[in-house]
Structure formats: structure tokens, C-alpha cells
Amino acid sequence: MIDTLEHRLKIQARSLGFELAGIAAAAQADGFDQFQDWLARDFAGDMSYLRRLAPARRHPAAILPDVRSVVMLGLNYYGAAPSAGEARIARYACGEDYHVVLRRKLNELLAWVQAEVPGARGRGVVDTAPLLERDFARRAGLGWFGKNTMLIHKRLGSFFFLAALLLDLDLHPDAPFEARHCGTCTACLDACPTQAFVGPYQLDARRCISYLTIELRGPVAEELRAGVGPWLFGCDICQDVCPWNRKAPWGREPALQPHADLEALDPAELVGITDAEFRRRFRGTALWRTKRQGLARNAALVLGNTAGIEALPALEAAAGDADPVVQEAARWAMARIRERAGTGG
């Protein structure tokens, strides 16, 4: 093996815990026009930041003006499905906030590059930056787009985070991943309880459980609430049913391993959580994204979908919450529970 900078960089990335590493040339994102069309169809819902920063996603130079190469990295987070009684949270949210974990590793990798090439400039980015990272990941040879819009790797499946290191260095790019290996399978499309996929490779985020439980700040549309089911935060359904995840290896990153306090979440308790308690328990985790209002609203929906009459006292208290979104979700949940129990009123 020739001892190139590219080869050594990939070895260093793997030593930092990244299972996947590939290089793409910095050029216009392949899917920028499709992204613009997706926005035009209003599939982004209330995620106004996607529209506001849309032009920046055309080219990575919007992030690093002199960028020449994009190093795409993948970090596996797959593990046992977390459960909190009848409630569920997405696997990726069970440990430390992945943004913190990825940025830490990206900073270490950039420092290594700058030691190898003094004067090199770069920037590490995760999904908060305006980069169409899936496009560059495919271009860097890391996998293909599944029908559920996730990037899929033959060995790792789809339960991995993407991160990018933008560099002003001319690195030799890897061959892009040209094939698709989903065939005629539609398991992910068929399994979505809110019918968020309008077709293969097309996600209407406004109906996605992850969007509804994380990004949406107001009330969840009533016709979608039953479909949320037990999901307190995020959703793994379309990945759980994917055949490529059946033999996926479990992640090894210690910071992403499930925290005990995130495996013991009680929706009957969370529906009444205070701002102070929310800050104490969830700062530094992915659940921070929902804010107190979102988590309490989600807890009410989960109780409405799964709980018995034992949850009514907690919901009755939440119906007096200062936040009208939480109030309304609690009243809806009480009505659902009473309907199931046949108690009426």
C-alpha cells in the first residue's frame, strides 16, 4: 500500500472511532436541484432554517471558501432498542449528544491533518451545517440512498452518523457508489405508520414521526397522533425493518452507549416535567432539542396511545399546564384513554 496522505488520513479516522472514511472532490452537491424541489413541495414543514440556508447547500465553499476536498466519515451507533416501559426513543438519542461526540473527533482529525500538512485549513461539520452530506457520502463511496432516504452501507446498514471534514487540500477522491441495492423491497415504505413516504426516495417530513416529535414546535395534527404510537423522541421504524440492518454490527463508541437515565423514562412523569427538571436531566443529550414543551407534549401523546386509566391523574395535572400545546395534548390523551376503557366523559 502506497503511504499517501489519503491512506494515512483514513487510518487516523478509524483510530478515532470512525468506521467509514472516504474522500470526495468539493463540487456542487449532486442532489441540490432535488433538494430545491423538495423544499418547493413544502415537505420541510416548519423547518424554516432549511429554506433560509438553502443556497448555501449548493456548494461546500459556502462553509469553507477555499475547500478542495470533502472527507466523509461514518460513526456507527447501532445498539439494542431502548425502551422506557411503553415509550420508545430513537437509538441515536440514548447516549451523549452526537453533535458533541462528532465535533470532538473531527477536531482531533483536523489537528492531525494540520500536523501532517502545516498551514492546511479545514472545518469539521455535522448536520447543523448547510451541507448535503448524503450526496458527498455517496460520492465518497460510503453507500447508496435507500428508499427511506437514508444512506445505506452494505456492512453497517444505516444506523450510523455522517460527519464531514472540509479541507483546502487537493486529495485524491474515492470512486463514488453508483449502484443501489434495495431492489424491489419496499419494507421501509410499507412500515411507516404515518405514511410519510410519498414514494420511493421521497419523504414528506411533515408526516415523519421524527419530525413530529423533535422539530415540530406546535401541536401534532390530530390525524397523525395515533401513528406516533409509543415514540417519545424520534423513530427507528423504517430502519428496523430494513433487511440491510439485520446483520449490522453494534457500535463501539462509549459516549454513544445508552445512559441508564435515558433507558428509564416514564411518560407519566415527563408529561408534568418542569423547566428546571428538563434542563437538569436532558442538557447534553439529543432530547434537549425538543425543549420542555415538546417532550411534555410527546409524553401526553404516548400515554394517549398506550396507557390505561392509571395515567389519568398525571394527564389531568398536565391539562392545567401553562403551555396550551401541552394542555391540549393532555386533554386528547385523556379522551383516548377513557374511550379505550369505555368510561366516557
Please list the active-site residues. Answer: 127
Cell numbers representing residue 93 in the block? 438519542
- Cell digits of residue 24: 470526495
DSSP state of 321: -
Question: What is the C-alpha to C-alpha distance for residues 153 and 246, in angstroms, rounded to an integer?
Answer: 12
- For 218, the 3-state DSSP assignment is coil
Spatial neighbors of 260 by CB under 8 A, at least 6 apart, are none
* Other CB atoms within 10 Å distance of the CB of residue 191: 15
One DSSP character per residue, 156-215 reads TBT-EEEEEEEESS-PPPPPP------TT--HHHHH-TT--EEETTEE-GGG-HHIIIII
State the residue for C-alpha cell 384513554: 337
Alpha-carbon distance 157 to 150, whole Å? Answer: 10
The whole-angstrom separation of Cα 186 and Cα 31 is 22
Task: Classify 291 as helix, strand or coil.
Answer: helix
Q: Which residues of 223-258 are buried (b: 16+ CB within 10 A; e: fewer)?
A: ebbebbbbbbbbbbbbbebbebbeebeebebebbeb
Neighbours of 110 (CB within 10 A): 19
Q: What are phi and psi of 24, to 5 degrees?
A: -125, 150
Rounded Cα distance between 142 and 152, Å, is: 8
Amino acid at 256: L
**Phi and psi for 144 in degrees, rounded to 5?**
-120, 165
